[in-house]
Amino acid sequence: MSDQLAGKHGVGPRFWEQNAPRTVRRANFWVPGPRYSANGQSYQRGPMFVEWEAPPEVTRPYPIVLVHGGAVQGTEWTITPDGRPGWSQRLVDAGYVVLVVDRPTQGRSPFHPDVVGAMGPPFSYEEGRKVFFPAEAAEKQTQWPFDPDGDGPTLDAFIAAYGPLPVDIAGWQEMDADRLADLLDQIGPAIVMTHSASGADGWLVADRRPQLVAAIVTVEPMGPPFATTPNIGTLSFGLTAAPITFDPPLSFAEQVQAADPASLRIPALTDLPVAVVSGETSPQAKAAHETVAFLAMAGAAVDHIHLPNHGVFGNGHGLIYEMNSDAALQPVLDWLIEHTPVASSADAESRHENDPRSGTPQPRRRDSLENSAHGAPADGTTMFVTYAGDADTRFDRDYFVNAHLPLVMEAWSPYGLLGVSALFPDGHQQGVIAVAVCRFRDAAAVSSALAAPRSAEVMADVTNYTDSEPIQSRGVRP
Q: How far apart are CA 141 and CA 157, in angstroms?
A: 20
Rounded CA separation 53/447 (Å) = 49
Helix 169-187 / helix 199-208 crossing angle, nearest 10 deg: 60
User: Of residues 88, 109, 196, 282, which has the active-site annotation?
Assistant: 196
- Calpha distance 115→136 (Å, rounded): 40
Q: What are the residues facing 190 on neighbouring strands?
A: 213
Q: CA-to-CA distance for 356 and 444, rounded, in angstroms? A: 38
196 catalytic per annotation = yes
Which distant-in-sequence residues (6+ apart) come within 8 Å of 315 by Cβ?
141, 143, 279, 280, 281, 282, 307, 322, 324, 328
Cα angle at 360 between 276 and 209, to 5 degrees? 45
Cα distance between residue 397 and residue 30, in whole Å: 46
> In the β-sheet with 48-54, what is the strand arrangement from edge to edge?
25-31, 48-54, 98-102, 64-67, 190-195, 213-219, 273-278, 301-306
Residue 378 phi/psi, 5° resolution? -70, -20
Q: How many CA atoms lie within 13 A of 174 on its CB side?
A: 12
- Active site amino acids: 196
